[in-house]
Amino acid sequence: MAFKDFPEQAQGVTLLQRSLQRGRLGHGYLFFGQQLDELEALARTLAKTLNCQWPVKVGGAAVDCCDKCPTCIKIDGQTHADVHWVRPESRLRVILVDQMRELMREIQLKPTEAGFKVAVIVGADRLKTEAANAFLKTLEEPPPKSVMVLLSTEPARILETIMSRCLRLNFAGEGTRKWDAALLDWLAQFSALAGTEQKSLLGRYRLMDVMARRLAEMRERIEEELTARSPLEKYDDVEKELRERWEDELKAAIEAEYRRQRSDLLLLVQWWLRDVWLHTLAGGREFLNFPNVAGAERVAGRITSPKALENLQVVEQTQRLLYTNVQEALTLEVGLLKLNL
């Protein structure tokens, strides 16, 4: 992909291209937004633009890649010697200090076949404190002809010492959030079930079953999509060490994307519960987020405003717990049982 292929991110892309045109590209960037795969594509496009053999130029400066030269193809395939990727690899899906030390060693070397060394830290919010602190000196005093790009869907979780040394570009998209049609279909099912009487445990476990099936489908789809895009599927004849690294990166990428989409699912439920809460306050006001989803009005008619507000706090607490090393099924079960429906 080239920068022209991101029309919904025109504002952030324009700022980046202006820096390229003026020769004022920063050494450290934080790209943040809602979709980690889109952030990766943007970082990849920046790496291609910096090293493209036939770039699109404005005023003599490269502002976009051709997306088809040998260099662009190598960067797309993650086989370019001067473009380095770091992803969460450990059992807890964090970026460890040894990974960052290896990256810093690589970035200090001169480019071997391109004009710029580029380092991309995927899921920078997963940097362990020791890894982040080890990375600080390189971020403060980067070697010449190097660019470091941090990617995150949760920038608030990044250490302020790292944030303050990066130029931040918001790629969250323009306008209000657009929910996937499949997610909205799922919410309609969840809402309709929640709208029925919830006096027995059986009703709650039906809700749990609806959520568990959605999460299982989500993980299966993520595994299929990321495995198909992995270099493991493209290159058979690679060294054992590189293959093992790609396998670890794939496992971590699957887990990170699953957690992100699980967070989106709970956020969707939280926004639906916010509609319920606002309805209890206004006594019949139209629903702001999901006016066409049945079930919310019936729930709002059964509970008080304080109980509706408690629901929002329950989902927030569940989200926080899921960021830690807890058992997912048990945490979700406890959260659903606590909801006032």
pLDDT tens-digit map of 84-103 = 999 887 556 788 889 899 99
More confident residue, 202 or 168: 168
- 57 pLDDT above the threshold of 70: yes
Report whether 25 contacts 149 (CB < 8 A). no
Strand partners, 57: 62
Match domain 3-171 to its CATH number in 3.30.70.2860, 3.40.630.10, 3.40.1350.10, 3.40.50.300. Answer: 3.40.50.300
Cα-based distances in Å from 247 to 87, 126, 152, 232: 11, 19, 22, 8
| pTM, full prediction | 0.63
The pLDDT tens digits of the residues spanning 301-333 come to: 888 888 988 998 899 889 888 877 789 999 999
Percent of the chain, pLDDT > 90? 27
Strand partners, 149: 29, 120
Q: Where are the domains of the chain?
A: 3-171, 181-338
pLDDT of residue 84: 92
Percent of the chain, pLDDT > 70? 94
pLDDT bin (cut points 50, 70, 90) of residue 63 is: very high
pLDDT of residue 242: 81
117 CB-side CA count, 13 A: 17
The pLDDT tens digits of the residues spanning 17-55 come to: 999 998 888 899 999 887 788 899 999 999 999 999 999
**Average pLDDT, integer, range 198-222:** 88
More confident residue, 9 or 292: 9
The pLDDT tens digits of the residues spanning 110-145 come to: 888 888 999 999 989 888 888 888 888 888 888 888
- 175 pLDDT above the threshold of 50: no
The pLDDT tens digits of the residues spanning 285-297 come to: 555 667 677 788 8
Write down the mean pLDDT value for the chain: 86
- 235 pLDDT above the threshold of 90: no
pLDDT of residue 173: 62
pLDDT of residue 233: 77
- 151 pLDDT above the threshold of 60: yes
